[in-house]
Amino acid sequence: MKIVAMIPARYAATRFPAKLMQMLGNKSVIRHTYDNTMATGLFTDVVVVTDSAIIFNEITGNGGKAIMSLKNHESGSDRIAEAASNLDVDIIVNVQGDEPFVQKDPLEKLLAVFTDEKVQVASLMQVLKEQALIEDANYVKVAVDRNMNSLFFSRSVIPYPRSKEVVTTYYEHIGVYAFRKQALLNFTSWPMTPLEAAEKIECLRYLEYGVPLKMVLTQYMGVEIDTPEDLIKATKLL
């Protein structure tokens, strides 16, 4: 199969403007993400898709590949779908630009689920243990069924621990997706859905149109850069 990694990279992030161009060690966040995705060796190609000439120049000026978006987009999936629509590709992996610690093992496990032809969309999750993070709206939680298909995504605490006698496992959704090409194009043809609009979580659109996401459990994905505090954590980790 032809597998391409696409990294949607929006410059004007709401919570942390220009976060992708912040320095993390001796490179920008977006360059760490691009370089580490390339280093996995899993992809036919790796491309940054951006609305920013600054990010475009940051990637291409350092030997990478980037595409400028032609339109404004509400979500990263919409952004990469525009770029992927004319590509000869089977599987597209959406690696978020603010995930600088990309590793091979989680992505390899993510791609492995596509040996099942029924899987149209897949994504990563990890166990969330700290109560403060479980309650933090910046950490998107996911509930899954016994077959590891997503039931719901929320910024709220799910499941809610009404019973204190039940041991509950909480999963954090990691914003790395893989799609069959047609599933991604279908996504962009559907209007934004009510739950997606309310939670500001794009993958809820799939659930509202009846497409489950196959969730893949990983143990470690580093730090996602959403806030200045995350950048401090990432610098320590680096």
pTM equals: 0.88
pLDDT band at 123 (very low <50, low <70, confident <90, very high): very high
Return the sign of the alpha-carbon dihedral for residues 7, 12, 17, 23.
positive
Which among 129, 100, 85 has a CA at the least distance from the CA of 33? 100
pLDDT band at 69 (very low <50, low <70, confident <90, very high): confident
Confidence check: pLDDT of 76 > 90: no
Residues 177/94, Cβ–Cβ less than 8 Å = yes
Confidence check: pLDDT of 13 > 90: no
Mean pLDDT of the chain: 92
What pLDDT, in 10s, does the model give residues 170-200?
Answer: 999 988 899 999 999 999 999 999 999 999 9
Q: What angle, rounded to 10 degrees, do the helices at 76-84 and 181-189 form?
A: 120
Confidence check: pLDDT of 207 > 90: yes
Confidence check: pLDDT of 24 > 90: yes
Please provide residue 136's backbone torsions phi and psi, each rounded to the nearest 5 degrees: -80, 125
What's the pLDDT score for residue 80?
87
What's the pLDDT score for residue 225?
85
The residue written with tokens 């999936």 in the block is 77
Confidence check: pLDDT of 220 > 70: no
What average pLDDT score do residues 32-49 get?
96
Q: Fill in the DSSP letter of residue 105.
A: H
pLDDT band at 19 (very low <50, low <70, confident <90, very high): very high
Confidence check: pLDDT of 63 > 90: yes
Architecture of domain 3-222: Alpha-Beta Complex (3.90)
Distance CA 7, CA 19 (A): 14
Confidence check: pLDDT of 222 > 80: no
Q: Any idea what the Cα angle at residue 113 is, between residues 108 and 118, rounded to 5°? A: 155
What's the pLDDT score for residue 113?
97
What pLDDT, in 10s, does the model give residues 132-164?
Answer: 999 999 899 999 999 999 999 999 999 999 998
